[in-house]
Amino acid sequence: MPYPQPLSALLTALPRRFSLCVTGATLAALMLPHMAHATSCAELAHQALPDATFTTVGVVEAGKWQPPQNQLSRIMSAPGMNVAGHATQAPNPAFCRVAITLHPSADSQIRTEVWLPLKGWNGKLLGVGNFGWAGSLMYYGMATGVGEGYAVASTDTGHDSSTPEGQGGRFTLGHPEKLIDYAYRADHLMTITAKALIEAFYKKPASHAYWIGCSLGGLEGLIEAKRYPEDYDGIVAGAPPNPIVNFNAEQLWAGWMSYHNPALRVSRDKFRLLNTAVMNACASPVGKKQGFLDEPDKCTFTPDQLLCKGNDTSSCLTANEVQAAKNIYQGPANPQTHEVIFPGPAKGSEDGFSADGKAFPVALDLFKYAAFQNPNWDWTTLKWDTDIEEATRKVGPLLHVDDNLTPFFQHGGRLLMYIGWNDGHNPEQLAGYYQSLQHNAGPEYQNDVKLITIPGMGHCYGGAGCDTFSKLGAIDNWVSNKQAPETIVASRVSNGKVVRTRPLCAWPKVARYDGHGNMDDASSFTCITPESQSK
């Protein structure tokens, strides 16, 4: 959908003060009534953007881009994180690189980059979501997007994870404006800034805008759909941790219970034993060969079936180990209402379980810094009723997304969510959210949201399943050609080569093997609605 006045939106959203600085040179800044049309990349530095400091404006030649190497870059370089589903990262085409720092508040330092293809722009914008606590730009996703012909944008959400104070959630301590930037402001301002620069550079607005992200990036997509329903026409939200307080409570649960009751600590070997038993009981012939459950929600195996008949051995579970596994599957519950706060992982993911009495750092930071603003907060004192409620009051208004996104759908938006069955985030929870979105959207818009569940995939990528597919192609085909993603062919990549393909099915359908074809070929599977009986 066209955006005829991106600059007017930008001026509405930001205070009318700005500074311009390009590679050390200060430029005279004039508040212009309209965005001037640039004739070259360098001239973009003269654009009047409120609260913006230009730090780099210049052309990156084809094949010359080298992303910085850090932990986030290593994650984003995995084939399963490639937004276009490529097995390897292709060399970049030539593009105009615009790096800006946005200052919507006195305490804001939002690093943002917009990349504009010099040739072959397809008329569209891609916003690339972040991961974890963010703090870095998503250069691999940007490079893939610009290679596909998109103008692309990314932001660090307002803090720098390469600095001690920017690591994890520490940046939120005593910085409420930075928490707002992280929650929603950075993404929105990045988006309208990108649209303004696109119109200046290409002399026409973007015809469509898409958002793609997983984990935090998936949550960012939902927040964009909720708060700014006209920012994007298509959003791909992978494994969104929503509601984030509940999700992170579940991430602390196994460590908390095994800290308070050391008898509930379970070794990695015992969890692997449990996983093997689950696979033997519930995996299909294809799943047994490939190493994952096709339909974990149909698995009725329980840990009791491994209970030791006598002494503890390496081939059985003690009563305490059985109870620990049950507790992890269930997830934490409110001790007053007995309501599950957030469900535990699905069957088939036991080899990723941990019950060692230790806290998960990413989850710990949400409570310690963002919610409670107390670096000395002792996670072992967490109260599963009052503390969860307090944390929700503190950060829920910023980071939780309810199940009504109807304004986004009314705008014409399409939402594609996806999640792996071997993710610590149980897909059944996301399926429940998906159904609520459909219900609230009503008959007119209920088909504008789709959910893909991916057998064998871990958190956003990895695992034994087929984790590599074109999120970008799926959302563009849906928005541009009105073809909803009922089936998407995904790949498993090893050493840069595709070694297996498989169809991913729109929930609640599942991919079923035809019984005689090549198990590693997607053509041997069909998406069907599963029968009601359990395996």
CA 220 → CA 299, 461, 479, distances in Å?
A: 32, 18, 20
Q: Residue 133 carries which side chain, given as an amino acid letter?
A: W
pLDDT of residue 141: 96
**DSSP annotation string for 9-72:** HHHHHS-S----EETTEE------SSPPPPSSSGGGGG---TTEEEEEEEEEPTT------SHH
- Residue 101's alpha-carbon distances to 19, 33, 42, 108, 395, in angstroms, are 10, 22, 17, 9, 25
d(C-alpha 519, C-alpha 502), whole Å: 9
Q: What per-residue confidence (pLDDT) applies to 72?
A: 80
Amino acid at 203: K
CA separation for the pair 54, 19 (Å, rounded): 8
**C-alpha 230 chain-centroid distance:** 20
With beta carbons less than 8 A apart as the criterion, state whether 231 and 322 touch: no
Q: What stretches of 283-354 show up as alpha helix (H) in DSSP?
A: 285-290, 319-330
For residue 3, what pLDDT is reported? 31
As a dihedral over the C-alpha atoms of residue 474, residue 480, residue 483, residue 484, rounded to 10 degrees, the angle is 50
b/e for 105-121, b at 16 or more Cβ within 10 A?
beebbbbbbbbbbbeeb
Asked if 398 and 180 count as a contact pair (C-beta separation under 8 A), the reply is yes
Dist. CA 142–CA 160, nearest whole Å: 18
Plot region of 412 (φ>0 → left; ψ -120 to 50 → alpha; else → beta): left
- The residue whose two tokens read 């990262």 is 89
Q: How far is CA 164 from the centre of its chain?
A: 24
Residues in CB range of 276: below 8 A, 6 or more apart: none
pLDDT of residue 532: 56
Q: What pLDDT, on the 0 to 100 scale, is given for residue 528?
A: 97
Using the Cα atoms of residue 238, residue 242, residue 245 and residue 246 in order, give the sign of their dihedral.
Answer: negative
Q: Which two tokens stand for residue 491?
A: 């790949």
Token reading at 330: 């269930």
Query: Can you give the pLDDT at residue 301?
Result: 98
DSSP state for residue 181 in the 8-state scheme? I
What pLDDT does residue 256 have? 99
In sequence order, what are the residues at sequence separation of 6 or more whose Cβ sits closer than 8 angstroms to the Cβ of residue 418? 214, 236, 237, 238, 239, 451, 452, 453, 454, 471, 504
> For position 326, what pLDDT does the model report?
99
Looking at residue 39, its pLDDT comes to: 58
β-pairing verdict for 124-128 and 151-155: parallel
Q: Are 352 and 420 in contact (CB under 8 A)?
A: no
Those residues with Cβ within 8 angstroms of residue 221's Cβ, 6 or more apart along the chain or in another chain: 129, 211, 212, 213, 232, 235, 236, 237, 240, 415
In this structure, are residues 188 and 161 in contact, taking their beta carbons and an 8 Å threshold?
no
Per-10-residue mean pLDDT for the chain, 535 residues long?
A: 36 36 30 45 93 97 91 87 95 97 98 98 98 95 98 98 94 98 99 98 98 98 99 99 98 98 98 98 96 96 97 97 98 98 98 96 97 98 98 98 98 98 95 98 97 98 97 99 98 97 98 97 97 51
What gap in Å lies between CA 308 and CA 444, rounded to an integer? 55
Query: What is the rounded distance in angstroms from the CA atom of residue 502 to the CA atom of residue 239?
Result: 20
Residues in the chain: 535
Joined tokens for residue 104: 């919507």
